[in-house]
Chain A
Amino acid sequence: MLASLFLIGASMTTPQMSVQTASQTIVEDSSDGMARAVNRMTGGIISYARWPNHTADSARTMCVIGTPRLTNRLVPDVPGSGTVLVRRMGAAAVIGRTDCDILFLGRTTVADRRQLIAWVRGRPVLTMTDDDAQCISGAMFCLMERGTSLSFSVNLDAIARGPLRIDPRVLSIARNDGATP
């Protein structure tokens, strides 16, 4: 009942209201420039997230589902101490586990995506995707390529729904698209 209400609500809300985009990192003009930029951005986002069971330098596990569009060498570059273990797996495998702190949704089926987003709700899991430029699929952070630079958007509704705490400074640097009603 609640889920269906949300779905209706999500489909009714305009993306501009809940999504903030941020013009981002200038991608260096080299072969692995994009990989570095993506790793830096994902690492930065991870560093601003606070898990309820947070300890100072606990390692986080990032489960990668599908094929990332921007890079295939996804190793988040977290500033300072803090490490991220990257695992690739299928959507079904994710639901069976409990150690996924971060979900990175690459190119995947719409059904898988929906299932995973529904599964994440209420769990302390950070969701990111690079396959949703509009950032309306329900992932918290959406990475996108804009010309020579990489940027990300924030889905505030998705963040507000979860127990995960995101540093407001990350939200504030993601500017509103200017389409506020």
Chain B
Amino acid sequence: MTGQTPERIGARTTLQKLLSRFHFGITLFAVALSGLTILLAGVTALRGYADRNIELAAQLGAYGVEPALVFNDPQAAREGIEPLTRIPGIARLRVVDDRGQPLVQWTSPTADPAPHLSRFFFPHPFAVKVERNGSTIGAVEVWGDSSTLVDYVRLGLLAGLGCLLITALGTIFLARRFEYELVKPLNEIATVAHDVRLHRRFDKRVKGLGIAELDRLGGDINALLDELQGWQGHMESEKAVLAHRASHDALTTLPNRESFDQRLAQRIAAAAAQDDRFALMFIDADNFKAANDNFGHAAGDAVLVAMSQCIKDTLGHNDFAARIGGDEFIVIVDRLHAGTATDELARRIRDCVAQPVALPGGETYRASVSVGVAVYPDDGSDATALLTAADAAMYADKLSSRSRK
């Protein structure tokens, strides 16, 4: 189950990648849009300036070539337009006289970088009429070229590329930031959910995350975990009760036959492994049937409870007592040091049981028990043999006590 998780993450995209992609897309769009707007606005403005530049150049030329036109002097006209040839963005110049005959013309020695663009932006030459005392004596014609525009567009594109680079870097930074701000809290929730599912850690809770939506999610998860924890606790106690009921006798609260069988098997295995010794003590009430018949079942129950209490009181901490039948009890006596220890225990149980028991009917009853002991491994090395030996010992004791009476 755990091995599946990373594989799933690899197969799908992560939140960071998703955010990064969105960021990049949005920023790219914004940069492209603003860049295009600025470029277009710039080209428009620059075109306006270029137009004005050429117009001014033409007017300057008109002023300069005026006397040349008056005197029809090509050399002077050439000198008149000479300052214009040093102005960038002019492709061609021409001075024509009043009859439209060209007096002088000049073409820029530098090639136009984009002739189509020039044709698009400057389809017609700027023509400025040269007037003398109110009559037209000629004109200066100026053709612009797109070199300044091309320079601007080139610069604009370069700047755009730079912006894109910055955008990419910024996007990575923002995505990292987002990962920190958003993915980390989400991971925290996921970790808690994972812990709960895998390790049954119902006490784990999602901490405050500082983001309203995630906090709400965390709060809901915490409430769910509260409920789960409640159910879990309830189930655990229910299970414990059921387990106790299954392994214990309801009347005396001593373990029942099943749990005794389990315990004995464990004890034999442990003793066999450690080369240990223990005793099995079979306790049976004498004439219990008669007491039951004479005083009623309630009285019998009271006697049994008293007997079980005597056995519990007598036993040591590690000893194990069980009720395996109607009036039959059995004890596993641990830490068996000497054979006399079991005799001493049997004597103390007998003394205790011999105390008068107050019956529900108001009478008192003195019970007596027969006790049989079997020792592992002396009297048997498996459960059946030990039980048989203890049972036999108990019967022997019963017979001898009967004969004593």
* Interface residues in chain A, defined as those with a beta carbon under 8 Å from any beta carbon in chain B: 22-26, 40-41, 44, 47-48, 57, 78-82, 152, 167, 169-170, 172-173, 175
Whether B71 is near chain A, meaning CB under 8 Å from some CB there, is yes
B70 touches A47 (CB 8 A): yes
Closest to B74 in A: A26
Give the nearest-CB partner of A25 in chain B: B72
Cross-chain contact B71 with A40 (CB below 8 angstroms) = yes
Check A24 against B73 for contact (C-beta < 8 Å).
yes
Of B67, B68, B71, the residue contacting A167 (CB under 8 A) is B67
User: Does B226 sit within 8 A of A, measured CB to CB?
Assistant: no
**Interface status of B274 (Cβ within 8 A of chain A):** no
State how many angstroms separate the Cβ of A39 from the closest Cβ of chain B. 12
Also in contact, A25 and B133, with CB within 8 A (given A173-B76, A173-B79)? no
What residues of B have a CB within 8 angstroms of the CB of A170 in the complex?
Answer: 67
A57 CB to closest chain B CB, in angstroms? Answer: 8
Contact for A48 among B70, B72, B131, B137, CB less than 8 A? B70
Q: Are A80 and B134 in contact (CB under 8 A)?
A: yes
Contact A80 B132 (CB under 8 A): yes
B interface residues with partner A (beta carbon < 8 Å): 63-64, 66-68, 70-73, 75-76, 79-80, 131-135, 137
Q: Smallest distance from the beta carbon of B134 to chain A beta carbons, Å?
A: 5
Q: A79-B137, A173-B79 are known contacts. Are A24 and B132 too (CB-CB below 8 A)? A: no
Contact partner of B67 (CB less than 8 A), chosen from A40, A57, A82, A169, is A169
**Which chain B residue lies CB-closest to A79?**
B132
Contact: A22 with B73, CB < 8 Å?
Answer: yes
Q: Considering the chains assembled together, what is the distance between the CA atoms of A23 and B72 in angstroms? A: 10
Does A44 lie within 8 Å of B134, measured CB to CB? no
Does the CB pair B67–A173 fall under 8 Å? yes
Give every chain B residue within 8 A of A41 (Cβ-Cβ): 71
**Residue among B72, B76, B133 making CB contact with A78, cutoff 8 Å:** B133
CA distance A78 to B323 in the complex (A): 150
Contact between A80 and B133, CB atoms less than 8 A apart: yes
How many A-B residue contacts, CB cutoff 8 Å? Answer: 58
Residue numbers in A under 8 Å from B70 (CB-CB) = 40, 44, 47-48, 79
Question: Closest approach, in angstroms, between the C-beta of B53 and any C-beta of chain A?
Answer: 23
A26, A80, A173, most chain B CB atoms within 10 A: A173
Q: Give every chain A residue within 8 A of B71 (Cβ-Cβ).
A: 22, 24-25, 40-41, 44, 152, 173
Could you list some 28 contacts between A and B, CB below 8 A? A22-B73, A22-B76, A24-B72, A25-B72, A40-B72, A44-B67, A44-B70, A44-B71, A47-B133, A48-B70, A79-B70, A79-B135, A80-B133, A80-B135, A81-B133, A81-B134, A81-B135, A152-B71, A167-B67, A169-B63, A169-B64, A169-B66, A169-B67, A170-B67, A172-B67, A173-B67, A173-B71, A173-B73
Beyond A169-B64, A172-B67, 19 extra complex contacts between A and B, CB < 8 Å: A22-B73, A23-B73, A23-B75, A24-B72, A25-B71, A26-B72, A44-B67, A44-B71, A47-B70, A47-B132, A47-B133, A82-B133, A167-B67, A173-B67, A173-B68, A173-B76, A173-B80, A175-B75, A175-B79
Bound: A48/B70 CA distance, A: 10
**Closest A residue, CB atoms, query B63:** A169
Least CB separation from A44: chain B residue: B70
Considering the complex, give the chain A residue whose CB is closest to the CB of B72.
A25
